[in-house]
Amino acid sequence: MLRIGMLTSGGDCQALNAAMRGVFKCVTKNAKEPVEFYGFEDGYRGMIYSNFRLLSEDDFQNILTVGGTILGTSRTPFKTINEPDEQGLDKVAAMKQTYYKLQLNCLVMLGGNGSTKTANLLSQEGLNVITLPKTIDNDLWGTDMTFGFQSAIDIATRCMDEIHTTASSHGRVFIIEVMGHKVGWLPLNAGIAGGADIILLPEIPYDIDKVVEVIENRDKQGKRFSIIAVAEGAISKEDAALTKKEYKKKLKNSPYPSVSYEIADQIFKATGKEVRVTVPGHTQRGGAPCPYDRVFASRLGAEAGSLILNKEYGFMVGYRNREMVKVPLDEVAGKLKMIDPNSSIIKEAKLLGISFGD
């Protein structure tokens, strides 16, 4: 009997169900022995508190196109994983106990950076673990692409497409705040696809005077409106020079809901132009996966299933140079794939006339 546990951890995104379906179909169709799949509910929490259910083929029917996750998800911060819970329970020991109680051969975890760190810890504790790269931020080290990313780009881009008409009608500056706290792959790609005039990223601290200059130059050219894609983690050059403690204090005392509203206020004061902020927020993580993500997540799931059948554990299934690869978990955990300000995509965007406020 082959027994496999599966969980989805961290923020939800499109194609989680497609990826789990890929694992299930690959293993059940190719295993030479009976197979049981156990789904842990609400991420690592389900494994800690032994909340699980035996999954059947019916659970994986008609979920290829469904967003969210049939198992539910939650955030279990890695920084507190070794701390007891409110009742004094050792969380790592509890997860190991659940794993052995179910006599699992392997745990499949679908998650992002923090979740992968916990998966690596469990691997180091002796559990057989395989992970799949899930995040709309595309910030996992060791893979060129994560599932959920392309679907989120599509949603953020559609938002910008629809903003263009109202921005041009009223001659306003519109700021679209796109998800991306530490890394800006999503606002970068959505900004290019959506025809943004300015894109502000966490990796490239901006000068508000440069931002204002672009808007004023567009005015002089008879262009009545401007579109700015702002990462939720965008940071000014002044703030980037602060220590982490100083920056956290500034954010805590800020009168603005987010950086986009601060930028909007600065632009209005400098130019007198009407500025509006649109925050698509969690819509970027919701809804059905786009066709690309359905294919990509299915491929990742099949590769993960292949690793299980070959008893190859301790890896994340990644994607490099258009091929699936297995990446050791200890190489992935704790690393973010940042945007290089000197990368070709940034240079090409600048050649197109896009400003990064630098």
Q: Residues 320-331: what's their mean pLDDT?
A: 96
* Domains 2-148+289-332 and 152-285 agree in fold: yes
- The rounded percent of the chain whose pLDDT value lies above 70 is 100
Whether the per-residue pLDDT at 161 is higher than 90: the answer is yes
Is 219 designated active site? no
Return the CATH architecture of domain 2-148+289-332.
3-Layer(aba) Sandwich (3.40)
Measured distance CA(116)–CA(122) in Å, rounded = 10
Nearest to 107, CA basis, from 186, 38, 203: 38
Give residue-wise pLDDT tens across range 219-271.
Answer: 999 998 999 999 999 999 999 999 989 998 988 899 999 999 999 999 999 99
Both tokens of 310, joined, read: 């070959």
What confidence score (pLDDT) does residue 168 get?
85
19 token code pair: 């990826």
- pLDDT, position 185: 98
Token pair recorded at residue 91: 């969380």
Please report the pLDDT score of residue 1 as a whole number.
94
User: What is residue 88's predicted lDDT score, i.e. its pLDDT?
Assistant: 94
Q: Write down the pLDDT at residue 171.
A: 82
Of residues 2, 7, 354, 9, the one with CA closest to residue 193: 354
Catalytic residue among 137, 154, 197, 293: 137
Task: Count the neighbouring beta carbons within 10 Å of the beta carbon of residue 348.
Answer: 11
Rounded average pLDDT over 174-198: 97
CATH of domain 152-285: 3.40.50.460
d(CA 59, CA 84): 33
Residue 94: which of 40, 57, 153 has the closest Cα? 40
- Give the pLDDT score at 115: 95
Does pLDDT of 27 surpass 90?
yes
Spell out the domain ranges in the chain.
Answer: 2-148+289-332, 152-285
Span 144-171, mean pLDDT? 94
pLDDT of residue 83: 94
Percent of the chain with pLDDT over 90: 95
What are the tens digits of pLDDT across the range 261-285?
999 999 999 999 999 999 999 999 9
**This prediction's pTM:** 0.95
pLDDT the model gives residue 267? 97
Over residues 195-206, the pLDDT tens digits come to: 999 999 999 999
Contacts 24+ apart (CB under 8 A), 328-334: 329/116, 329/119, 329/120, 329/123, 329/129, 329/131, 330/120, 330/123, 330/124, 331/141, 331/142, 332/116, 332/120, 332/131, 332/140, 332/141, 332/142, 333/116, 333/117, 333/119, 333/120, 333/121, 334/113, 334/117
| pLDDT tens profile 29-76 | 999 999 999 999 999 999 999 999 999 999 999 999 999 999 999 999
pLDDT confidence of 169, banded at 50, 70, 90? confident
